[in-house]
Chain A
Amino acid sequence: MSGNTKILISDLYLSIGKHEILKNINVEIPENKITVLLGPSGCGKTTLLKTLNRLTDLYDDVKINGSIILDKDDILHTKSDITWIRQKMGLLSQRPYPLPMSIYGNVSYGLKIKGIKKKKILDEKVEHYLKEVNLWEEVRERLHHPASDLSIGQQQRLCLARGLAVDPEIILADEPTSALDPLSSQSIEEMFMILKKDYTLVVVTHILRQAKRIADHVVFMYLGEVVEQGPADEFFTSPKMERTKAYLKGAFN
């Protein structure tokens, strides 16, 4: 693998109650690349993504073993504040979930949480990040309108801007285009291609074509285990495992 490893997941096991969701996960996520977690529904890719910023803490009866090293710190056993680790990662979910406040309020939310209160700085940042996701021109006249007034594609871009505003190093995206129309999906994908210059992206998808379009690195999962992983061109042109070959042919989905 070329480049640096941003996140190193070793021997990760996760179970909720008696259900084993993730088994023996060993994954390296390269820096400034798009890593795609690929696999059929229910294979554990979303859970793996949520483990990365410890949203799994919200579940009852969850048991996690193993380690996830980010910047030399094991985030599963860290002594530092979890909210601080979460700010290193922006999260984009399947459907946009704008916070119940204005467009401006959504983008400035994380900044205010961080303690930035000066209106001038907030104004600048809001404008900057809305521009970064190509939303500024569409909303500049109605920054203080409720975010729920936006179309769903605009909402998803707003959610991306909101995540970028806390200045993360990593963007976690969980099937970020599954609720969007083709045009909005395309614009999100294009943005990812630009963002990878500055960020490390981890994108969950079950859409093979999308994975082919955007992935630099692919992790293919099935039933809670990693079947195969590697650089995208290798993965798609010469897969090694039988199960991967079957999936790529569309034998199961």
Chain B
Amino acid sequence: MSGLYRKWTDRINEAWMFSCLVIIIMLPFLLAAGLYLKSYLIISENNLSGLLFSDIWKPAENKFGFAPFIISSLWVSLSALVLAVPVCLLSSIYITQYARSSVLNLMQPVIDILAGIPSVIYGVWGILMIVPFSVKASEWFGVHTTGYNIFSGALVLLVMIIPFILNILIEIFRIIPEELSEASLSLGATKWETIKYVLLRKAFPGIVSAFGLGLSRAFGETIAVLMVVGNVIKIPHNIFDPGYPLPALIANNYGEMLSIPKYDSALMFAALILLAVILVFNFASRLLIMRLERYS
């Protein structure tokens, strides 16, 4: 009897652990399916390329062009990434290769705190500090702006993704065995040569994935960007133009203006684009890593 009881407890326990796992695996599919169903209305009635590439956004006239939002999102997140790459790479190399280990012990809590600050605080800080700075910076280039533009959005995003990317990079450099550096040094390489030819190469797949994940994160960030980016529906042409990224579109408008037909569906479609782009970033960086890993 007790043998049978134990056998069944064992099976049941395994079964419910498995079902928890299934639920987790199903989540992204459920999310995507839900968004697709909700946005089906607009996809079926307006053609897809028109939705993605048109820049005319007049919901009342049934014109839904997402290009301004998509391009704004790309501008903001790519600019943030371009700024983040040198800062994160150089500081992570310094922390792991040059600084004493006590520096890392000091930096780790600082990075964790930065990563844990709610994004609305970054937004407020952006309005207080970054927006005025953006006004000044644009004046150096002879442009007059309100300061609420792509540049401000990118700077705020930069500050937000730095701790995230830095954490991954530090981990990547830390797990490279010291013996690999020793091997290079023992062959007569200097420290810099060792970093350039050996460590960076060894870490390359990890570096790519760190920045890929950082980009996904930047692409989806909502509140802090929304607060400083201007939210003007127009394709931005330079970094001092205001923009209107996809997450801001959803956050600003959901629950309002639902009297307009298809508006709800349009916002769901925006969410679907966001999800798709982030999935593509993730898959692409994973694929790249698999290709690169063999050589490092």
Contacts and interface: CB of A to CB of B under 8 A. Distances in A.
Nearest to A89: B186
A55 B184 contact: no
Interface string A189-218: 000000000000000000000000000000
A91 B188 contact: no
A146 B188 contact: no
Interface in A99-138: 99-102, 109-110, 113-114
Interface string B185-204: 11111100100011001100
Interface of A: 50, 53, 55, 58, 60, 83-84, 86-87, 89-91, 93-95, 97, 99-102, 109-110, 113-114, 146, 148-149, 159, 162-163, 166, 172
Interface in B16-44: none
B186 A58 contact: no
B26 to A, nearest CB: 37
A51 to B, nearest CB: 13
B177 interface: yes
Given A95-B179, A100-B201, A109 B185 contact: no
Contacts of B45: none
Contacts of B190: 83
B182 interface: yes
A99 to B, nearest CB: 5
Interface in B81-111: 100-102
Q: Across chains A and B, which 9 residue pairs bring their CB atoms closest together, nearest first? A: A87-B188, A91-B186, A110-B187, A100-B296, A100-B202, A100-B201, A83-B188, A97-B179, A97-B180
Contact of A110 (B102, B181, B182, B188): B188
19 contacts: A55-B182, A58-B178, A58-B181, A58-B182, A83-B188, A83-B190, A90-B187, A93-B182, A97-B179, A97-B183, A99-B180, A100-B180, A109-B187, A109-B197, A146-B294, A148-B296, A162-B183, A163-B187, A166-B188
